[in-house]
Structure 1
Amino acid sequence: MTDIQLWTLIFVGLTFSVYIYVAYASRVTDTAGFYVAGGGIPAPANGAAIAADWMSAASFISMAGIIALSSNGYSGSAYLIGWTGGYVLLAMLLAPYLRKFGKFTVPDFVGDRYNETARLIAVLCAIVISVTYVVGQMAGVGVVFSRFLGVNTTVGVLLGMAIVFFYAVLGGMKGITWTQVCQYSVLIVAYMIPAFAISAKITDIPVPQIGFGKILEELEALQAELGFGEYTAALTGSSQLNMFLLTATLIFGTAGLPHVIVRFYTAKNVRAARYSALWALFFIALLYTTAPTVAAFAKFNILGASSTGDLASQSWFDTWADVGLITGPGGEAVADLNGNGAIDFLGGPGNEAVINNDILVLASPEIAGLPAPIVGLVAAGALAAALSTASGLLLVISSSVANDVYHKRINPLADERKQLRVARISMAVAVVAAGYLGIHPPGFAAQVVALAFGLGAASFFPVMVLGIFWKKCTAAGAASGMGVGIVMTMAYFVWTLPAETAPIFLGRDPIMDIAPVGFGFIAMIVNFVVTIAVSQFTTKPSAEMQALVEEVRFPGQTDLVARHAQTGDVG
């Protein structure tokens, strides 16, 4: 066992032990605790849990890799801008009003605001979005375990499935919330320590947000020498259009993600929900302002080694190539194709190495020559990020099935014990499905997650905004809009993604060169149009529901809102 594997095992063992203990200590026996932690989580803790739920494997593992390994850093920043802007939109535009509405889940809101048909469509959307999103987390878990513990990806995903199933099923939202507080602490420490150390080592400035500015000029020179585009250059043409669409999809998709929205129901009241959003934004900003620096430093080191012909002689290169995450340009094993005695990492013809986006953050301590304990800490942080988000997503699936389908539609008289049993069984099924797809993912972690954001934008965002801010939005309009939006987005992915990634994909040319990860914004616009148009010609909500929608938007707890939050008896 190498030093890196030993330290990884130590940190993973310690952190997993903490997660299991916290979940056991927070175990629940009622549905309120399982779905929304009893609505009693303090704002700072809820903010940390939101941040952990928010910063998935895509944020921790993939985002810096996308920024660094795109043709230029500017194009990769769409993920940074989209995810950050989307959280602000969610916190300001939707979260307080949804919290005041007082329901457990997004389908619960849709069902009470519109009708039962809309609820069932919302349940299907929530399950599709959550399963898609959790696939990216499981894929990230497999990457970490395969590299740092020497097991293959399948075994790594199975280990991740087992641990997240244990604490998610045992503690529900209450256990998940307090576990996520711990996981946020682990992931942010694991992200920040290497960033500060690398900045100090390269620039003598220990604050990476300041230090990385010192290397940009030299990084630009290395990019030009090796044939890459200018690192900080803006985009034009179809690339500019796709960046806009991707950024917009991520922004509006963020505001439509059910596992983040449900977090605001765990706060004690509307005021606490607002403060939770503020705390979460602070916690998120710590990582999101650091990610571009991690990207710049890692690419600086990689290009420096490539320019001197030393890239393939570095130990980290061989270890990641051995697990298949550094390959030749056609996916084959890395080889010296031009016979110059070196492996060339170039931005054009002649490139002999393709570095997977998902390894950059995990490999950055090794690339910078940091000691083994820091490498092991980063691995534990990546697992914390992936598992924290996976648990929140699994809870959305289980609560949608148990609360919105079983309790609301199949067996309204079911007691707490039966509802919890259904919730836990549905979570188990979801874990197995997510694990299988995590072993065979249709893309790297951030790409899979981007599909989930597209689905969220195309399905939930319009019906929630219109449900809150337009009292005459009808059930038929909402149901039609959600259905059209999610079908359009899924169909475009099936149409355009390469056929070799999965049998269902067709690999056809994109329409007007629009990348599939940005199509969710277009489908969202269609959803708005369909919802508004259908609402003009269908039965309007009851007068009492329209009054409730008016009152939800204003401060204070009216009798009508209070009665609805407790019983759902409106209209």
Structure 2
Amino acid sequence: MQINASTRMLTLVIFIIYSVLLLGVGFYYRQKSKKETSGDFSKNFFSGGRAMGPLVVGMMLGASVCSSGTFIGGPATGTKEGLVWTVCIYASVFMNFVILGIAGKKIGIIARRTNAVSYVSLLKNRYNDNKGVTILGALAIIGFLIPYCSSQLVGGARLIETMIGIPYLWGLGIFALIILIYTIFGGIKGVSVSTVIQGFIMTFATLLLIFGVVSYIRNDSGSMAAAWQKLAASDHKMIMSPKQWSIPVMFSYIWLVGITYVGLPHAVQGALTYKDTKSLHGAILVGVVFVTFWQGIMTFMGPAARLMNIVPEVADQTTPVIAMTVLPPWLAGVIIAGAVGAIQSTIAAMLIVISSSAVNDIYSNYVRPEAGPDQMKKMTQIITTLVLLAIFLFSIKPPAFLQMLINFAVGGMETIFFGPMLLGLFWKRANEQGALSGMIVGAVCYYLFSYPLKAMISGMQPVLPASLIALAVMAAVSLATPKPPKGVIMTWFGRKYPKEGRAN
């Protein structure tokens, strides 16, 4: 659809105001960080000094996962798959229970015992400082999060391209620059405050969108029921049918977006930041409420677009086109700001995770163990900039469906990390040999089920068979090899533990 000049101008003004606000947050925390001692840098930059409250932790976790997949890729896929997609993706509302409720308390305790500031540093300690686990884990995070971040950046650039009318590459550059500034300057604290702002904008935008859509459909078709009946008559696939997807296929999506989220490093990062148990419990409630609201409405937007006969030339433009169809220009601009907020919060959280993996887990452990706080700070800024540049280059030629890239990246990380984190937290017998074997086998199986053996899994997400095989291999190898050292068991499962939290 054509967007007139006044609409583009209003959208641009809203986008500029929103961006200036985020940049202000970044500069504020840059000034604040100058007052901290240099030795506090890693702890404050990557884990926020473990002093964050329930609203920040819950919102950071929810907004970091409900990103372009929720606001851009999900609705786009929904225009093709219909309500069955909506039902499967809705499983992600349980992620806060999985990450914070099941694993979060123990992760927070262990992180304090071991002074861990990253996902991989937790695994490194749990698996006896095993070099293979550490390096493979860090490389997997970098390798999968770069395309994942790329999917987010693509979504943001397409929004800007659609709504403001600037070229796609310019949109990529603007988006990347804003994120880089407030992430490097603010660290996890700046990202967390920005995420709270973004979360409320996302909520307001989602509320506006559903009211606009329902009103439009009722005016056009008389009632929602009449609209669904009309759609069912023209395209029965849009209405959920047991024959549309098999039960294993549906369960594989639920496994991907709900059950195995503890295998996502950028999601678990929130568990490293909470202040106390009260904050943790509050964060679970905050996250569940907001994620349920965002996912429940935005996953409906794909089928809703078909109800309104909206089929954009580029599927990932579904959300902005709906907004421009059902709302006045300035409100449509708020919708775009909400989607932009979802995307930026996710990329920023991922940049923190990638930087922590590259700097803390590889550089400080194996390249320059003697590096001081100032060197670590400088290297963090360099790595973050280089990673964002790589993401930018990766995003120049995006896939037709954004959700495909998101699913691939998420599934890859979950396959590699689900077993080592889950069994590491709750099974004393899990050891370094088992973890490394499971990670390697999981990565190989994920590749095989994604490409050469794709036909064997009959449409399922490859993460389901690959992660189950990886779990089985990890358990078998752990049982066949020596038990973990006593120091590891005491640190992870005992009331009394080595003061330094080392895995000896």
- Distance verdict in 2 for CA 1:405–1:71, change over 3 Å: closer
Q: Cα offset for 1:494?
A: 4.4
Task: For 1:87 and 1:128, locate their aligned partners in 2 and report how far apart those are by CA, in whole Å.
Answer: 25
The residue that corresponds to 1:255 in the other structure is: 262
Task: For 1:524 and 1:453, locate their aligned partners in 2 and report how far apart those are by CA, in whole Å.
Answer: 12
Aligned residues of 1:95 and 1:264 also touching (Cα < 8 A): yes
Aligned residues of 2:217 and 2:308 also touching (Cα < 8 A): no
- Aligned partner of 1:435 among 392, 396, 415: 392
Q: Which amino acid aligns with 2:306?
A: K
CA deviation vs aligned residue, 1:139-174 (integer Å, no higher than 9, x gap): 101211111121222221111111111111111111
SS of residue in 1 equivalent to 2:309: helix
Determine if the alignment matches structure 1 residue 366 to structure 2 residue 324: yes
Q: Cα offset for 1:492?
A: 3.6
The residue that corresponds to 1:141 in the other structure is: 156
1:118-137 alignment runs, 5 A limit = 118-137=133-152
The residue that corresponds to 2:89 in the other structure is: 79
1:359-438 alignment runs, 5 A limit = 359-368=317-326, 370-438=327-395
Count of residues paired in the alignment: 486
- Distance verdict in 2 for CA 1:277–1:523, change over 3 Å: same
SS of residue in 2 equivalent to 1:70: helix
Structure 2: gaps of 5 or more residues = 35-40
The residue that corresponds to 1:307 in the other structure is: none
- Distance verdict in 2 for CA 1:239–1:49, change over 3 Å: same
CA deviation vs aligned residue, 1:495-531 (integer Å, no higher than 9, x gap): 48xxxxxxxxxxxx6224334xx10111100111110
- Distance verdict in 2 for CA 1:56–1:72, change over 3 Å: closer
Aligned residues of 2:46 and 2:187 also touching (Cα < 8 A): yes
CA deviation vs aligned residue, 1:207-232 (integer Å, no higher than 9, x gap): xxxxx9x9453233222432x11543
The residue that corresponds to 2:297 in the other structure is: 290
Task: For 1:181 and 1:38, locate their aligned partners in 2 and report how far apart those are by CA, in whole Å.
Answer: 18
Which is higher, the Rg of structure 1 or of structure 2?
1
The residue that corresponds to 2:273 in the other structure is: 266
SS of residue in 1 equivalent to 2:395: helix
- Aligned partner of 2:231 among 223, 234, 253: 223
Q: Which amino acid aligns with 1:233?
A: M
Aligned residues of 2:490 and 2:496 also touching (Cα < 8 A): no
The residue that corresponds to 2:190 in the other structure is: 175
Aligned residues of 1:146 and 1:152 also touching (Cα < 8 A): yes
Q: Cα offset for 1:99?
A: 1.1
Task: For 1:272 and 1:86, locate their aligned partners in 2 and report how far apart those are by CA, in whole Å.
Answer: 17
- Distance verdict in 2 for CA 1:246–1:292, change over 3 Å: closer
Aligned residues of 1:32 and 1:38 also touching (Cα < 8 A): yes
CA deviation vs aligned residue, 1:462-514 (integer Å, no higher than 9, x gap): 11111011111110110111122123223443448xxxxxxxxxxxx622433
- Distance verdict in 2 for CA 1:215–1:448, change over 3 Å: farther
The residue that corresponds to 1:113 in the other structure is: 126
Q: Which amino acid aligns with 1:85?
A: F
The residue that corresponds to 2:66 in the other structure is: 55
Determine if the alignment matches structure 1 residue 560 to structure 2 residue 497: yes
Task: For 1:495 and 1:160, locate their aligned partners in 2 and report how far apart those are by CA, in whole Å.
Answer: 36
- Aligned partner of 1:195 among 210, 216, 220: 210
Task: For 1:198 and 1:266, locate their aligned partners in 2 and report how far apart those are by CA, in whole Å.
Answer: 38
Q: Cα offset for 1:50?
A: 2.0
CA deviation vs aligned residue, 1:112-155 (integer Å, no higher than 9, x gap): 00023211111112112311211110110121111112122222
The residue that corresponds to 1:7 in the other structure is: 10
- Aligned partner of 1:549 among 492, 495, 503: 492
More helix by share: 2
TM-score by length of 2: 0.90
1:513-528 alignment runs, 5 A limit = 513-515=458-460, 518-528=461-471
TM-score by length of 1: 0.80
Q: Cα offset for 1:195?
A: 1.4
RMSD: 2.3
- Aligned partner of 2:307 among 292, 300, 309: 300
CA deviation vs aligned residue, 1:434-486 (integer Å, no higher than 9, x gap): 11122223442222111122112211111111101111111011011112212
Q: Which amino acid aligns with 2:455?
A: P
| Greater Cα offset, 26-35 or 142-151 | 26-35
Aligned residues of 2:84 and 2:245 also touching (Cα < 8 A): no
- Distance verdict in 2 for CA 1:433–1:476, change over 3 Å: same
